[in-house]
A and B are shown apart, each in its own frame.
Chain A
């Protein structure tokens, strides 16, 4: 298959590269661009480890054909905070014990961020529904839900200032 040029914004930076039409977005991000924070847990859109935000929506990047990201804005775990200024979700995931093996964490945080980007007062049920497609085998989810709630509070407080 002939390779095509893919142009898109990754964490705010313009990217231009050759991809095969059969490449998925997760392959491009992890293998070609070297951002390995996004994980691959099943390759079938069943576990959510590869969740990134594309044009404001959380997507399973393992089932998004790379060419579908043409001209899109894609956000990954590497783009949402720095070690000096972490995203509130990154802080609360750490402080509430929401991270064990850490393999689901990037996808979990990106799913939660997509929710909080549009809703700073989510209910517990909305949080559960949001992360229902993200499997975590370590934590039992409770501390993750608490962390998302706490991050929402933090974001709300900083917005109200």
Chain B
């Protein structure tokens, strides 16, 4: 491939931007079909109860009501709202523990019934007419309590009391020997909060059933193909008779809809089948909070053995995560926590044990980082503790221990690239690391501090989970090309990036590329948008498809030009011989000539991705008001090894957005429950996510240590922005006030209490 790219690496105008800026972009919540009904859901007010009796007759009698769905008239097929049925590879089995509606409710917000009516108001009125008699069951809210013998069982579990799926065990070297070799051993336990994706568009779906039974579902899913499989399975339909698509835009995701959009799709479809009319289900914001996956809260313990010179000899991590009432991604998330937490540093003796535990709270599932931010808050808080105990600079202890290409690690693929040390050096320079510890006078009540933390992540889910991509690149008769990929663009710039790659390989202008995406009917199977994979994995498939088409074009053109295919190249849509420049022809001419002879160039890309580690170093500068406990981040620097930035502006956007979400995780975002299992923070005014006022100067630094496995060298970038943000901020707070926090968020209250206790 050419080194001087004409399209890749350029900040081209994003393909979705004009529509979005003009208010012309269509989202699921915008869809209105002829005869469309509005669906609303009755949710459990109790954290654990059996439905003894349910009477829907009054609701059904209300004028305008067209269908009422309960566990009595919907499929009794178990599933998982998350796409585990597609992702899980034998011998592991996907955990399927949900029905569309069940006779037992397991958290406040769990689905009891749904109504389809001619208006939202009538549907809401009808919900109040449904009479339900509950028998209350015992509850448990904390994962440690839920593991105990006397705790109520939420589901049948093989691996242990209330443990969904399997317990994860990862091991390398000899952990006992590693601790024996250590001069010091450190062990700390950290507590992590419930964070919410809080994507701007709530969970939503519109379902339509044609008179001959074909199903179409417009949805906010991040994974149309896997979501189609879940729906087809629940409703007993051939996959080919179910179409799932984005319309085509989604108002954010951050992991909350890898699979179904909570239960918006199956509820809309069940109602549409009963009513024989299209049905739209849009969660309101409160429903999105209480009845749609969150990030996993839980406990992470890190035990590290270290030599006097700072060399790590052993590291053991243990993770107990709160699954909530259903499994969702709770079998997988503890694995990523452990695998990533162990892999950022080289350490010859490592071990991880972790799992999730069911409780009567909102299910936890995928959220940006997928266990990694939880693990890295613990790991990189502890690394700073160790550095201080040994009298080392936090930069130096990390430099001594970071993972480097070629070294062994626990991951089942090799580390082939790393720009981590460069990230650390550039970040340290930008934050002025030398200022650390020198910014405060004894009398200062506002104290400043600087901290850092590092991390890595994945570029897709292989080989932990099933992960593959297909794509088509079809040359049109005029020489323009049509790309087809099943991957959504949830705001991450995916369609722009994929089109850039296709244009680069085909040697044509960006404006000559059209793209079809996020539609199961017009694209081949593709896993979807998750695990920082779209640029890396979907991109690899598009590149393979474009290379296939290019090869076909060159073979055809070589005949026309009477040269060999191997000597051909293409630039700006002109195919030419690299040996005899005057032998040239436009791609359009070749495509039209082929068309007249009954042929089209159809490139197919079928790939199983490899994997590659992106790297990051985060630096935070904070001010802590010792009179109020208020922590303010005044600057954040994030230096990221992204392999190759296909579109630098999009990459910066991913990093900055991740940083903002990470600042929220560190300082303010948390969902708490009362003693009856009800969320105390179930709306934007109660859930303190960052606004523009809370975001400091953000400096994203792009480092390009190209990975041989990525398209044009690219690695994953979607999640890395918040992997180490909380740890960096907590470390900066320690530098400012000398107090170490083992729990986030660092709210004014928590910091104030700690300051007061110290006095």
Binding site for B on A (CB under 8 A): 30-31, 34-44, 46-47, 49, 76-78, 81, 83, 86, 90-91, 93-95, 97, 99-106, 109, 127-129, 131-145
> What are the interface flags for B253-292 relative to A under an 8 Å C-beta threshold, 1 for contact and 0 otherwise?
1100000000000000000000000000000110000000
> What's the least CB distance linking B568 to chain A, in Å?
36
Contact present for B13 and A141 (CB under 8 Å): no
Task: Tell me which residues across on chain B come within 8 A of A43, comparing CB atoms.
Answer: 284-285
Task: Tell me which residues across on chain B come within 8 A of A46, comparing CB atoms.
Answer: 285, 683-685
Out of B13, B19, B23, name the residue touching A76 (CB < 8 Å).
B23
With A138-B653, A139-B656 as given contacts, are A101 and B490 in contact (CB-CB < 8 Å)? yes
B649 at the interface (CB under 8 A from A): yes
Out of A49, A81, A138, A144, name the residue touching B491 (CB < 8 Å).
A138
Task: Tell me which residues across on chain B come within 8 A of A128, comparing CB atoms.
Answer: 692-693
With A44-B285, A99-B20, A128-B693 as given contacts, are A39 and B653 in contact (CB-CB < 8 Å)? no
Q: How far is the CA of A102 from the CA of B251 in the complex (A)?
A: 7
Cross-chain pairs A/B with CB under 8 angstroms, 17 sampled = A40-B29, A42-B683, A44-B684, A78-B23, A78-B24, A83-B22, A90-B21, A97-B650, A101-B253, A101-B491, A102-B17, A103-B27, A104-B200, A128-B692, A137-B661, A142-B656, A142-B698
3 nearest A-B residue pairs (beta carbon): A37-B23, A101-B491, A102-B20
Contact present for B13 and A137 (CB under 8 Å): no
> What's the least CB distance linking A70 to chain B, in Å?
22
Q: Among A40, A81, A91, A134, which residue has the most Cβ atoms of chain B within 10 A?
A: A40
With A44-B285, A101-B491 as given contacts, are A109 and B656 in contact (CB-CB < 8 Å)? no
Contact present for B22 and A81 (CB under 8 Å): yes
A109's nearest neighbour on chain B, judged by CB, is B21
Task: Tell me which residues across on chain A come within 8 A of B442, comparing CB atoms.
Answer: none
Contact present for B201 and A101 (CB under 8 Å): yes
With A36-B26, A37-B24, A76-B23 as given contacts, are A141 and B254 in contact (CB-CB < 8 Å)? no
> What's the least CB distance linking B103 to chain A, in Å?
31
Contact present for B14 and A99 (CB under 8 Å): yes
Contact present for A100 and B21 (CB under 8 Å): no
B202 at the interface (CB under 8 A from A): yes
Out of B22, B27, B202, B684, name the residue touching A77 (CB < 8 Å).
B22
Q: How far is the CA of A47 from the CA of B689 in the complex (A)?
A: 11
B390 at the interface (CB under 8 A from A): no
Q: How far is the CA of A134 from the CA of B690 in the complex (A)?
A: 11
Q: How far is the CA of A145 from the CA of B698 in the complex (A)?
A: 12
Q: How far is the CA of A77 from the CA of B652 in the complex (A)?
A: 26
Q: How far is the CA of A119 from the CA of B659 in the complex (A)?
A: 30
Contact present for A78 and B249 (CB under 8 Å): no
Contact present for A94 and B491 (CB under 8 Å): no
> What's the least CB distance linking A107 to chain B, in Å?
9
B668 at the interface (CB under 8 A from A): no
Q: Say whether chain B's binding surface is mostly helix, strand, loop, or mixed.
A: loop
Q: How far is the CA of A101 from the CA of B659 in the complex (A)?
A: 17
Q: How far is the CA of A79 from the CA of B355 in the complex (A)?
A: 53
B21's nearest neighbour on chain A, judged by CB, is A90
> What's the least CB distance linking B494 to chain A, in Å?
11
Task: Tell me which residues across on chain A come within 8 A of B253, comparing CB atoms.
Answer: 101
Task: Tell me which residues across on chain B come within 8 A of A103, comparing CB atoms.
Answer: 27, 199-201, 251-252, 491
Q: How far is the CA of A83 from the CA of B252 in the complex (A)?
A: 25
Out of A47, A83, A90, A131, name the residue touching B692 (CB < 8 Å).
A131
Q: Which of B196-252 contact A (CB under 8 A)?
A: 197-202, 249-252
Contact present for B656 and A136 (CB under 8 Å): no
> What's the least CB distance linking A126 to chain B, in Å?
11
With A94-B13, A142-B695 as given contacts, are A135 and B20 in contact (CB-CB < 8 Å)? no
> What's the least CB distance linking B32 to chain A, in Å?
8
> What's the least CB distance linking B202 to chain A, in Å?
7
> What's the least CB distance linking B457 to chain A, in Å?
18
Q: How far is the CA of A36 from the CA of B28 in the complex (A)?
A: 11
Q: Which of B178-210 contact A (CB under 8 A)?
A: 197-202
Contact present for A97 and B652 (CB under 8 Å): yes
With A132-B692, A135-B200 as given contacts, are A99 and B21 in contact (CB-CB < 8 Å)? yes
> What are the interface flags for B670-695 relative to A under an 8 Å C-beta threshold, 1 for contact and 0 otherwise?
00000000000001110001111101
B698's nearest neighbour on chain A, judged by CB, is A142
Task: Tell me which residues across on chain B come within 8 A of A144, comparing CB atoms.
Answer: 692
B151 at the interface (CB under 8 A from A): no
Task: Tell me which residues across on chain A come within 8 A of B649, comparing CB atoms.
Answer: 97
Contact present for A135 and B21 (CB under 8 Å): no
Q: How far is the CA of A100 from the CA of B650 in the complex (A)?
A: 9
Q: How far is the CA of A83 from the CA of B20 in the complex (A)?
A: 12
A22's nearest neighbour on chain B, judged by CB, is B121
B25 at the interface (CB under 8 A from A): yes
Contact present for A132 and B653 (CB under 8 Å): no
B493 at the interface (CB under 8 A from A): yes
Out of B21, B202, B685, B690, name the residue touching A93 (CB < 8 Å).
B21
Task: Tell me which residues across on chain B come within 8 A of A143, comparing CB atoms.
Answer: 652-653, 656
Q: How far is the CA of A109 from the CA of B22 in the complex (A)?
A: 10
B376 at the interface (CB under 8 A from A): no
Q: How far is the CA of A104 from the CA of B657 in the complex (A)?
A: 14
B660 at the interface (CB under 8 A from A): yes
Task: Tell me which residues across on chain A come within 8 A of B32, comparing CB atoms.
Answer: 31, 34
Task: Tell me which residues across on chain B come within 8 A of A106, comparing CB atoms.
Answer: 23
Q: How far is the CA of A40 from the CA of B21 in the complex (A)?
A: 16
Task: Tell me which residues across on chain A come within 8 A of B149, comparing CB atoms.
Answer: none
Q: How far is the CA of A113 from the CA of B229 in the complex (A)?
A: 44
Contact present for B249 and A102 (CB under 8 Å): yes
B202's nearest neighbour on chain A, judged by CB, is A41
Q: Among B249, B658, B692, B695, which residue has the most Cβ atoms of chain A within 10 A?
A: B692
Task: Tell me which residues across on chain A come within 8 A of B26, comparing CB atoms.
Answer: 36
Out of B18, B22, B491, name the residue touching A78 (CB < 8 Å).
B22
